């Protein structure tokens, strides 16, 4: 049986394609910028940072790959000249055409990652094929609402790294409709599932399978996380992510204003350096360090040197950085709009904060500093993360796919689309 996977390669290094290959499917992966020697050479020669990240990812199993290097180069050019929306439309159209050429009598399954699924799911050639959406992000309609609300409050300009606002209305409407035209949706966190239910998807149509984390984040043994009983030693905190509104970056200065004990905070920025709010590196109540786009080894070292990973994000599909930091021995203090509720046991291996209130984050940090056994929580976080392997993810994914195909998990695409037409998100 053939399975077609449409995935541009970010986030999980083609784990879904590998899972299906391990389950016995003949997998055709439709992607772009796949990590061939030619792609790596061009990426390094012309210093295409985005292409270098794509080229570093390859499936582990022996699968058929349809990858358009020229398409990816054109998309990178369009992104620089005309913006993310034009680049997205171009690359998705090319990938959809490539995937449709692979459809045949033996095609039992089409799995598409969100933001690349709509066109192939509504094409008549896939009507008799099971269509599975892998939803990396929360529902884009909810993302738009949350970020637009922050912009209205004057907290952050919309153009500051929030790609949903670079799409045209017609493109965004297709992204919003994707989960409504799938037979089943698989996502990596309960929060993402709740965002889909909020927008009209039936509970039974959604499965949650948390991601894994690579053992490469284990790193060297952490420096001793000494007792705070004698006072004076700062709590070592790290934030890793883009400096954009949705990551909760603007809450951190407010948290630092409340804290009265000594604290060191390390910011590791990703992506557009121009989006960095300058006031973050001038926080008066903390010793501050800032790094940008560092290597993997440098990141693991910074994780292992830190006591706490602070991540007050407003909305995440999962947030790999949480499991990464835990694998390196950080205690996560994160919002509930992440994978936190799925992977953290409160006050055992981390803390999940239910409300986006700086006082709640400050109180959690103070309790860790003054009352908790940091060594024990760090060890528990590391142990918890080791249980979330990519092998576990792939095994669970293939089992879920088999349940969907044999009918023990029902498909509800018609009902979901009716709910979509009746919802506030229908254009």
Cα separation, 330 vs 405, in Å, equals 40
Record the pTM. Answer: 0.88
Measure the CA angle with vertex 83, ends 82 and 88; round to 5°: 110
Q: In what order do the strands lie in the sheet with 235-242?
A: 287-292, 263-270, 235-242, 308-311, 331-335, 351-353
Widest Cα–Cα separation across the chain: 71
DSSP H helix total and E strand total for the chain: 17, 13
Q: Which residue did the predictor score with more confidence, 20 or 198?
A: 20
Going by pLDDT thresholds of 50, 70 and 90, the confidence category of residue 420 is very low
- For 281-290, what is each residue's pLDDT tens digit? 556 667 888 8
- For 231-285, what is each residue's pLDDT tens digit? 568 999 999 998 888 899 889 989 998 998 999 999 998 766 655 555 555 566 6
CATH architecture of residue range(s) 215-386 = 3-Layer(aba) Sandwich (3.40)
Please indicate whether the domains covering 2-212+390-422 and 215-386 agree at the CATH topology level.
yes
Cα separation, 230 vs 78, in Å, equals 57
Cα separation, 201 vs 182, in Å, equals 10
Domain boundaries, the chain: 2-212+390-422, 215-386
Query: Which ranges in 245-373 belong to alpha helices (H)?
Result: 251-258, 296-305, 320-327, 340-343, 358-370
Residue 336: predicted pLDDT: 96
Going by pLDDT thresholds of 50, 70 and 90, the confidence category of residue 193 is very high
DSSP state of 350: B
Domain 2-212+390-422 in this protein, CATH class: alpha beta
Whose CA is closest to 210, among 10, 411, 380, 397? 397
**3-class DSSP state for residue 309?**
strand
Q: Which residue did the predictor score with more confidence, 405 or 343?
A: 343
- For 211-239, what is each residue's pLDDT tens digit? 999 988 886 665 555 444 445 689 999 99
Maximum average pLDDT range among 32-41, 83-92, 216-225: 83-92
Mean pLDDT over the full length of the chain? 83
C-beta separation of 425 from 197 below 8 A: no
């Amino acid at each position: 049986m053939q399975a077609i996977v449409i995935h541009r390669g970010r986030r999980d290094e083609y784990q879904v394609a590998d899972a299906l290959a391990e389950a016995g499917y003949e997998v055709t992966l439709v992607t772009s910028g796949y990590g061939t020697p030619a792609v790596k050479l061009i990426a390094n020669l012309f210093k295409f940072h985005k292409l270098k990240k794509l080229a570093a990812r390859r499936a582990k199993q022996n699968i058929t790959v349809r990858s358009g290097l020229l398409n990816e180069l054109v998309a990178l050019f369009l992104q620089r000249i005309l913006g993310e929306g034009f680049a997205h439309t171009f690359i998705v159209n090319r990938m959809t055409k490539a995937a449709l050429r692979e459809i045949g009598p033996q095609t039992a399954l089409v799995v598409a990652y969100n933001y690349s699924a709509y066109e192939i799911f509504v094409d008549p050639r896939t009507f008799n094929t099971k269509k599975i959406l892998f939803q990396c992000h929360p529902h884009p309609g909810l993302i738009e609402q949350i970020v637009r609300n922050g912009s209205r409050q004057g907290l952050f300009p919309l153009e500051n790294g929030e790609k949903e606002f670079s799409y045209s209305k017609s493109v965004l409407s297709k992204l919003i409709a994707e989960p409504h035209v799938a037979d089943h949706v698989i996502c990596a966190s309960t929060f993402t599932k709740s965002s889909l239910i909020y927008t009209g998807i039936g509970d039974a149509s959604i499965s949650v399978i948390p991601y894994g984390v690579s053992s490469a984040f284990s790193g060297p043994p952490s420096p001793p996380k000494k007792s705070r009983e004698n006072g004076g030693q700062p709590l070592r905190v790290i934030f890793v992510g883009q400096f954009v509104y949705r990551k909760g970056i603007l809450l951190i200065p407010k948290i630092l204003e409340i804290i009265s004990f000594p604290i060191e905070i390390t910011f590791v920025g990703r992506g557009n350096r121009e989006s960095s709010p300058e006031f973050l590196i001038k926080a008066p109540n903390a010793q501050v360090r800032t790094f940008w786009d560092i290597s993997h080894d440098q990141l693991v070292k910074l994780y292992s040197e830190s006591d706490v990973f602070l991540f007050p994000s407003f909305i995440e599909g999962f947030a790999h950085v949480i499991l990464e930091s835990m694998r390196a021995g950080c205690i996560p203090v994160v919002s509930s709009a992440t994978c936190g509720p799925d992977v953290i046991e409160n006050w055992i291996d981390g803390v999940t904060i239910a409300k986006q209130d700086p006082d709640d984050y400050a109180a959690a940090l103070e309790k860790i500093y003054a009352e908790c056994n940091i060594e024990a929580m760090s060890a528990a976080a590391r142990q918890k993360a080791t249980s979330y392997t990519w092998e576990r993810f792939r095994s669970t994914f293939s089992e879920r796919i088999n349940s969907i195909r044999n009918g023990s998990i029902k498909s509800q695409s018609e009902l979901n689309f009716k709910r979509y037409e009746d919802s506030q998100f229908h254009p």
